[in-house]
Amino acid sequence: MKNKHFSPEYKAINPMSQVPAIVDGRFKLFESHAILIYLCSAFPGVASHWYPGDLFKRSKIHSVLDWHHSNLRRGTVGLVFNSIIGPQNGFPSNAQAAKEGEKLLVKSLAKLENFWLKDGRFLVGSLQPSIADISLVCEIMQLELLLEKDHERILSPYKKVVQWIEDTKKATAPHFDEVHDILFRAQKRFRERMATESVKNELKSKL
Amino acid sequence: MKNKHFSPEYKAINPMSQVPAIVDGRFKLFESHAILIYLCSAFPGVASHWYPGDLFKRSKIHSVLDWHHSNLRRGTVGLVFNSIIGPQNGFPSNAQAAKEGEKLLVKSLAKLENFWLKDGRFLVGSLQPSIADISLVCEIMQLELLLEKDHERILSPYKKVVQWIEDTKKATAPHFDEVHDILFRAQKRFRERMATESVKNELKSKL
* Residues B39-89 pLDDT 10s: 999 999 999 999 999 999 999 999 999 999 999 999 999 999 999 888 888
Phi and psi torsions of B138, nearest 5°: -65, -35
* Residue among A125, A144, A145 nearest A193 (CA): A145
Cα separation, B72 vs B111, whole angstroms:
9
| Spans of all domains in chain A | 4-42, 55-188
Signed CA dihedral, A156, A157, A159, A163: sign only: negative
Alpha-carbon distance of B122 to B171, in angstroms, equals 11
Q: How far apart are CA B135 and CA B114, in angstroms?
A: 19
Residues of B in contact with A34 (CB under 8 A): 59-60, 62-63, 65-66
How many Cα atoms sit within 13 Å of A185 on the Cβ side?
7
Nearest to A68, CA basis, from A50, B4, A60 = A60
Q: What is the CATH number of domain A55-188?
A: 1.20.1050.10
The amino acid occupying position A170 is: K
Query: Considering only CB atoms, which chain A residues are within 8 Å of B34?
Result: 59-60, 62-63, 65-66
Mean pLDDT of chain B: 94
Helices (H), chain B: 8-11, 32-42, 55-68, 74-80, 86-88, 95-111, 131-141, 148-155, 159-171, 175-179, 181-206
Out of B15, B31, B63, the one facing A62 most closely (by C-beta) is B31
Q: Is A15 on the interface with B (CB under 8 A)?
A: yes
Q: Which of B59, B65, B82, B94 to mutate to test the interface with A (most CBs of A within 10 A)?
A: B59
What is the ipTM for the molecules in this complex? 0.93
Mean predicted confidence (pLDDT) in A161-186? 96
Give the pLDDT score at B200.
85
**Are A37 and B111 in contact (CB < 8 Å)?**
no
- Mean pLDDT over A12-33 rounds to 96
Distance from CA of A69 to the nearest CA of B (A): 6
- B156, B152, B142, B140: which is closest to B186 by C-alpha? B142
Answer yes or no: do A66 and B69 touch at CB < 8 A: yes
User: What does the pLDDT average to over A34-41?
Assistant: 98
Band (pLDDT 50/70/90 cuts) for residue B2 is confident
Asked if B31 has any chain A CB less than 8 Å from its own CB, the reply is: yes
Would you call A22 an interface residue with chain B, using a CB distance cutoff of 8 Å?
A: no
Contacts of B165 (CB under 8 A, 6+ apart): B137, B140, B141
Pick the CATH number of B4-42 from 3.30.70.870, 3.40.30.10, 3.40.50.1000, 3.40.50.410: 3.40.30.10
What is the Cα A116 distance to its own chain's centre? Answer: 17
**The predicted structure's pLDDT at residue B85:** 86
Residue B3 pLDDT class (50, 70, 90 cuts): confident
Average pLDDT over residues B86-106: 91
Choice between B130 and B88, residue whose per-residue pLDDT is larger: B130
Q: Give Cβ neighbours of residue B193 (< 8 Å, ≥ 6 apart).
A: B88
Are the Cβ atoms of A34 and B59 closer than 8 angstroms?
yes
Contact A145, A98 (CB under 8 A): no
**Over the stretch A79-108, which tens digit does the pLDDT of each residue have?**
999 998 888 888 888 899 999 999 999 999
